[in-house]
Amino acid sequence: MFSSILAQRAAENNPIRVGIIGAGKFGGGLVAQLSRTPGMEAVAIADINLDHAKHAYTASDVPAETLRAVQSAEEMNDAIHNGKRAIAEDGLLVTHSDLVDVVVEATGIPEVGARMAYHALTHKKHLVMVNVETDVTVGPLLNRIADSAGVVYTLVDGDQPGVTMNIVEWAKTLGFEIVAAGRGTVFYGDDRTGTPDTVPERFGFSEEVIKRRTINLKMFNSFRDGSKAQIEMTALANMAGLVPDVRGMHEPSVNTADIARAFSLREEGGILNRQGVVELANSVAEDGKTMLEAPLRMGVFAVIRTDHPFIQEDLTGYHLHSGGDGKNFLLYRPYHLVAVEAPISIAKAALYGQPTGAPLPRPVAEVITVAKRDLKQGEQLDGSGGYTVNGLIEKAEIARAENLLPLGLASGVKLKQNVTKGTTITYDMVELDENSFVLKLRRLQDATLWDVV
């Protein structure tokens, strides 16, 4: 029904007005897709580098003379009202504008994302949260704020947590059990120690591509060093109520056809200690150097289970890969299209008041902080994708019991002591920034949501 409703809105010149915060690779890609999507319009873009915001528009064939740089919400409203495309350095202008219906937060920075999300929701804007780094830190609280404001807080379709959640929701609706759900990875043996400096060579990015697509090397390094996959599966865990089987997940090297077998219980020939988990299917062979023959790569999957013999026979007849003594079956999609699919979440929120996926009231998983190398007292941590730390998923109750520092709070804080490589970092080991907005929201979340039944 999306297409017909959006077509009608386009015909009536009443598009869903979208404001985007963060004009990097995702933000620029979303502007391009929205330029081809009837019934939606990117009316405003904010980025600390105004040239990035300009480029996102002009790369999508928006004439430069129709852009207007603004410095207040009133100026933004005036620009949009007069048919201009507003660009700004301050994302709060997007959240405050009366003429923005849906805000897309795509900065990838927990501190920025927390502030932008809070203001968008309290100003009664639907919020599409691309910033999973913020979501895994304070998402449950933000979702609670959204509910109180009568708007939608949602993760984004196209990104792997949202795409996987679509499969999980489909399976749950039909009464299947979820044995495991997750995404593919392409993780080589030396990747966990990678730094932003080595991203161009690792991903094959030329200087021209980095400039044209406004690629954030630190963000891309979070994919390389494994943190991003851990963060994304924590976001999925907290939407679907799934947990990691072990700290960091198993992440076996496995071809697509073997996923259902691998992600079954140990007593059924798999590697899992329990069902209902998030997992990663690595596409690199066990030698850490070569690619498997038929990997999932960057696709997504769910291993579902049924005890009914008729349904087992049907799924087998439809050639689903199986495991778990013939009771577990693989659902998968070999791709995710990131910004290309994001308008689906925008439409779902604006037209139907529903999320692609949102955190449960109480988190079940946490991304904890681990030293990437030997660190010295007084060093400043630089968060996901940087030079100092990695993230690993852990059960939320264990993270709380062990006082482990969330990765979303591990940026701009100083160590009180030396920390050896591979050590998990606790709150006690760092000097927190008491002026941090995301820290304030996290403390509020910890003080309130753990009392929710």
Tokens for 200, please give them.
């161009």
Within 10 angstroms of residue 409's Cβ, the number of other Cβ atoms is: 25
pTM of the full structure: 0.96
- Residue 211 is predicted with a pLDDT of 79
CA 57 to mean position of chain CA atoms: 24
Q: CA-to-CA distance for 350 and 125, rounded, in angstroms? A: 9
* Superfamily of domain covering 2-158+339-352: NAD(P)-binding Rossmann-like Domain (3.40.50.720)
Q: CA-to-CA distance for 330 and 307, rounded, in angstroms? A: 15
Q: CA-to-CA distance for 331 and 304, rounded, in angstroms? A: 7
Q: CA-to-CA distance for 147 and 248, rounded, in angstroms? A: 31
Tokens for 211, please give them.
């400039």
Closest CA to 100 of 122, 123, 116: 123
- Residue 333 is predicted with a pLDDT of 98
- Residue 151 is predicted with a pLDDT of 98
Tokens for 1, please give them.
């029904």
Give the mean pLDDT per block of 10 residues along the chain (453 residues): 93 98 95 97 98 96 96 98 98 98 97 98 98 98 98 98 98 98 91 85 82 82 92 98 98 98 98 98 94 96 98 98 97 97 98 98 97 97 96 98 98 97 98 97 92 49
382, containing H or E segment: strand 380-382
* Sign, Cα dihedral of 244, 246, 252, 256: negative
Tokens for 152, please give them.
């939608």
**Domain map of the chain by residue range?**
2-158+339-352, 161-187+226-336, 365-451
| Region 365-451: CATH code | 3.90.1210.10
- Residue 452 is predicted with a pLDDT of 47
